[in-house]
Amino acid sequence: MTDFAATKAMFHLPEGMIYLDGNSLGPLPKATPAAMEKVLRDEWGEMLITGWNNAGWMAQSTSVGDRVARLIGAEPGHVIMGDTLSVKVYQALASAVELNPDRRVILSDSGNFPSDLYMAEGLIQSLDKGYELRVVAPEDVAANLTDEIAVMMITEVDYRTGRLHDMKALTAKAHEHGVITVWDLAHTAGATDVQLADCKADFAVGCTYKYFNGGPGAPAFIYVNPKHANTARPAMSGWLGHDAPFAFEQSYRPHTGIERMRVGTPPVLALTALSSALDVWDMTNMADVRRKSQELTSLFITEVEARCPELTLATSRDPDARGSQVSFAFEDGYPAMQALIAHGVIGDFRAPNIMRFGFTPLYIDEADVVRAAEILEDIMTNRLWDRDEYKVKSAVT
Amino acid sequence: MTDFAATKAMFHLPEGMIYLDGNSLGPLPKATPAAMEKVLRDEWGEMLITGWNNAGWMAQSTSVGDRVARLIGAEPGHVIMGDTLSVKVYQALASAVELNPDRRVILSDSGNFPSDLYMAEGLIQSLDKGYELRVVAPEDVAANLTDEIAVMMITEVDYRTGRLHDMKALTAKAHEHGVITVWDLAHTAGATDVQLADCKADFAVGCTYKYFNGGPGAPAFIYVNPKHANTARPAMSGWLGHDAPFAFEQSYRPHTGIERMRVGTPPVLALTALSSALDVWDMTNMADVRRKSQELTSLFITEVEARCPELTLATSRDPDARGSQVSFAFEDGYPAMQALIAHGVIGDFRAPNIMRFGFTPLYIDEADVVRAAEILEDIMTNRLWDRDEYKVKSAVT
């Protein structure tokens, strides 16, 4: 059984703050500044260009990818790091549609993160072949999996409500109809016990600045099922995905396996920060994290519902049907969240009316959950949110 | 006149090393570790999610872009940071071809960096509309600019030979024929006095880990000419290029201007390192850097040709026809470069036979140039390269 007090001690958490926004940006691991100092001074500073070989920079994309693979139930050697999640969505989708060349519908749901839908729109317009992006309600995805669908592109956990799709069932039904699946793990990687291989997912992508605590703008990852690894064509066919990048050949020849999904020069500093953050995961495993996360989210629901009748639960009461977050709907959710932040409890707001709270056992415990609910009660009962200063919207909300 | 001794003092250069590979990876600015410590501990560590507003992270892509804009002769507000150079090549090219919808030829040259050609191949295969990638010899580009060409995609300086294209003349000729231009500034940004606005370039892209010293895998940039800024469609239409990213609308609406070329979450740590590196440029200007760079490359050519008859100059003798590098062809260039590195002079090798040396006045002076030539002479005259240990190829060469 994981010692979560020990994992909590691995993070820097500001004095007096209860941080329930790790589903947006995880906190600073205490080990990260030293890791960054090392890559800057000992590697970049002293090795300069030779760091690509001598410090292992060129191998980082795969070595860090292998560490992520273990945490999302992927086969080793089938996850690679790089780029942003939106770029990886584009790459996965562009590859996926070509595996179903005679179909013209990309199926997604209205609970998907907008950037995924935007990237699909952009790709569809570029391809100019009559593709349709069909966006249905989350509960209607299964019923819409037909022989007409080329690709199902779904984010496993809804960023607003925390609703968790059944990856195994949806993927199985998709495959019955010859549909290729692209799973976005933005809110599940590091949060739930994702089992990509067991679910037979075709493609998966995700980010590492949320539950993996890689830092603001940390690199994304992409997974390609072994059965497609040597046939999927990376639309963004960059030199580092070439079979022999340093032969500088004039034409592209894809690398075997997941490495073909590499594009440009890897972000060494960011991958170093992420790698240091992943060390925390050596102290635990996803099954323990998931079990504890379900306890924490259940406790928060119980505490808040008992204290704040003004708030309406927007997340499933069934722990197996939600991710590692709890959302409440409240008409004045924006100022209420600002007031809560001013009182030391950090969650976030998602339009139009969602107050969102993320939980991870790595650094949140029962005492934090109860204290956060107490502070929220104070703000709601005494209408502390009803002040002009909390109603001014900032650039990033 | 710039005080180049003062700029040199801003960099950490390992004791006894003459670093002539800044055209591949610039050295560590002395200010960068402290800047990174600040973003880690004071910003990420203390502000967490609120750093997007309170530490200005969300504005970094444009604020750093403006600093780069000044150094490449771009109009302020028309350069934005993000992604890798290969991804930005893809994005620029995908936008550019749509501005010439009735043409089907992308013109490039055999001196272009392979990744640019690979990305074009990947895009062409995705579009599946009969596009042709026409790759001609560098000296034949102008003659191949005809009414048939949709886009000319050219890297201004050849990564092997250092040959410098005439951006103004080629762009003018391209425009006479209705051709859209995409310029890759990988080896010119920070190296030559690029004047994008004056040359009327349509698109430009570049990286920042070479002459801008942003660190391994530092972010790329993209420039879009103001005349296209509100019409170019970013094929990779990510949420941060949306007109209202935090409204989380279901459909994409591009932001006005260069911001539409943003894709995903910006790499805050990498942009912070880059921003600290750009401070050095506040002490100088591109005209001074270019003039001094031409002096240094001329001096190196003179010194090496006088000392090493075994080597054949592969770079133009005309300072206005080359970038900030000098290349020599030598059949045993690979072991010769390894021997040179072992003797403290860092250059690099590019297949099949090019020994490549980059120069920047920011941290290389005349004494370094002469000393490097002396060491090279020793290696060539005494065949110090002819040892088995120098002939083993490493992963990154």
Q: What is the mean pLDDT of chain B?
A: 97
CA distance A236 to chain B (A): 6
Percent of chain B with pLDDT over 90: 97
Confidence band of B133 (pLDDT split at 50, 70, 90): very high
SS3 (DSSP) at B335: helix
A267 annotated ligand-binding residue? no
A109 is catalytic: no
Q: A206: which strand partners?
A: A221
pLDDT score recorded for residue B105: 98
A265 annotated ligand-binding residue? yes
Q: What is the ipTM of this complex?
A: 0.96
Q: B81: which strand partners?
A: B221
Confidence band of B393 (pLDDT split at 50, 70, 90): confident
Q: Which of A83, A109, A158, A184 is catalytic?
A: A184
CA distance B194 to chain A (A): 23
In chain A, residues with a C-beta closer than 8 Å to the C-beta of B14 are 45-46, 48
In chain B, residues with a C-beta closer than 8 Å to the C-beta of A395 are 52-53, 58-59, 246
Q: Give the span between the Cα atoms of B238 and B241, in whole angstroms.
A: 6
Q: Which of B109, B184, B348, B368 is catalytic?
A: B184
pLDDT score recorded for residue B188: 97
Q: Higher model confidence: residue A1 or residue B335? A: B335
Q: Which of B67, B160, B173, B210 is catalytic?
A: B210
In chain B, residues with a C-beta closer than 8 Å to the C-beta of A114 are 239, 242, 248-250
Give residue B1's identity as a one-letter amino acid code.
M
8-state DSSP, B27: P
Confidence band of A278 (pLDDT split at 50, 70, 90): very high
CA geometry: angle at B159 spanning B68 and B164, to 5°? 75
8-state DSSP, A394: P
- Of the candidates B281, B224, B333, the residue with the CA atom closest to the CA atom of residue B71: B281
- Of the candidates B18, B101, B53, the residue with the CA atom closest to the CA atom of residue B346: B18
Q: Give the span between the Cα atoms of A287 and A293, in whole angstroms.
A: 10
Site of tokens 């069932």: A169
Confidence band of A393 (pLDDT split at 50, 70, 90): confident
Q: Give the span between the Cα atoms of A253 and B45, in whole angstroms.
A: 43
Q: Which chain A residue shows the shortest CA-CA distance from B38? A: A33
Tens of pLDDT, residues B80-123: 999 999 999 999 999 999 999 999 999 999 999 999 999 999 99
> Strand B18-19 and strand B345-346: pairing?
parallel
Q: Which chain A residue shows the shortest CA-CA distance from B98? A: A126
pLDDT score recorded for residue B396: 58
A388 annotated ligand-binding residue? no
The token pair at B352 is 């099949």
Give residue B258's identity as a one-letter amino acid code.
I
| DSSP output for B50-101 | GHHHHT-GGGHHHHHHHHHHHHTTPPTT-EEE-S-HHHHHHHHHHHHHHTST
- Contact at 8 Å (CB) between B310 and B23? no
Tens of pLDDT, residues B9-35: 999 999 999 999 999 999 999 999 999
Average pLDDT for A65-87:
98
pLDDT score recorded for residue B395: 57
pLDDT score recorded for residue B351: 86
Q: Which of B90, B113, B131, B223 is catalytic?
A: B113
Residue B394 has pLDDT above 80, yes or no: no
Tens of pLDDT, residues A293-313: 999 999 999 999 999 999 999
Instruction: Quote the distance between the C-alpha of residue A293 and its chain's center.
Output: 16
Q: Which of A67, A103, A210, A262 is catalytic?
A: A210
- Contact at 8 Å (CB) between B41 and A33? yes
CA distance B287 to chain A (A): 27
In chain B, residues with a C-beta closer than 8 Å to the C-beta of A45 are 12, 14, 27-28
Average pLDDT for B168-190:
98
SS3 (DSSP) at A309: coil
pLDDT score recorded for residue B392: 86
Q: Give the span between the Cα atoms of B166 and B182, in whole angstroms.
A: 14
Q: Give the span between the Cα atoms of A220 and B265, in whole angstroms.
A: 10
B210 is catalytic: yes
Instruction: Quote the distance between the C-alpha of residue A38 and its chain's center.
Output: 27
Angle of helix B114-127 versus helix A114-127 axis, rounded to 10: 80
Q: Is A6 exposed, middle or buried (0-12, 13-18, 19+ CB in 10 A)?
A: exposed
CB-side neighbour CA atoms (13 Å) of B339: 21
HEC-encoded secondary structure of A217-253: CCCCEEEECCCCCCCCCCCCCCHHHECCHHHCCCCCC
Residue A286 has pLDDT above 90, yes or no: yes
Q: What is the mean pLDDT of chain A?
A: 97
Q: Give the span between the Cα atoms of B281 and B68, in whole angstroms.
A: 10
Residue B397 has pLDDT above 80, yes or no: no
In chain B, residues with a C-beta closer than 8 Å to the C-beta of A110 are 250
Q: Which chain B residue shows the shortest CA-CA distance from A254? A: B118
SS3 (DSSP) at A380: helix
Q: CA–CA distance from A204 to each of A72, A223, A278 (Å)?
A: 10, 5, 19
- E strands, B110-220, in order: 132-136, 149-155, 180-184, 203-206
In chain A, residues with a C-beta closer than 8 Å to the C-beta of B86 are 236, 238-240, 263-264
pLDDT score recorded for residue B53: 92
Q: Is B24 exposed, middle or buried (0-12, 13-18, 19+ CB in 10 A)?
A: buried
Q: Which chain A residue shows the shortest CA-CA distance from B136? A: A250
The token pair at A320 is 């197996």
pLDDT score recorded for residue A396: 58
Residue A8 has pLDDT above 90, yes or no: yes
Exposure pattern of B327-361 as b/e (b: 16+ CB <10 Å)? bbbbebbbbbbbbbbebebbbbbbeebbbbbbbbb
| DSSP output for B154-167 | EESB-TTT-BB--H
Tens of pLDDT, residues B222-276: 999 999 999 999 999 999 999 999 889 999 999 999 999 999 999 999 999 999 9
Q: CA–CA distance from A119 to each of A18, A33, A126, B241 (Å)?
A: 34, 34, 11, 11
Q: Give the span between the Cα atoms of B249 and B238, in whole angstroms.
A: 12
Which residue segments constitute the domains of chain B, with CATH numbers given?
4-29+285-390 (3.90.1150.10), 33-282 (3.40.640.10)
Tens of pLDDT, residues B295-323: 999 999 999 999 999 999 999 999 999 99
Exposure pattern of B144-159 as b/e (b: 16+ CB <10 Å)? bbeeebbbbbbbbbbb
Site of tokens 């990510």: B238
SS3 (DSSP) at B129: coil
Binding-site positions of B read 85-86, 113-116, 155, 184, 187, 209, 239, 265
Task: For the beta carbon of residue A384, count every other beta carbon within 10 angstroms.
Answer: 17
Task: For the beta carbon of residue B15, count every other beta carbon within 10 angstroms.
Answer: 6
pLDDT score recorded for residue A395: 57
Q: Higher model confidence: residue B206 or residue B395? A: B206
Helix ranges, B179-219 (H): 196-199
What are the residues whose beta carbons fall under 8 Å from the beta carbon of A37, sequence distance 6 or more?
B33, B36, B37
Angle of helix B333-342 versus helix B366-381 axis, rounded to 10: 120
A210 is catalytic: yes
Q: Give the span between the Cα atoms of A110 and A370, in whole angstroms.
A: 32
A347: left (phi over 0), alpha (psi -120 to 50) or beta: beta
Q: Give the span between the Cα atoms of A231 and A215, in whole angstroms.
A: 33
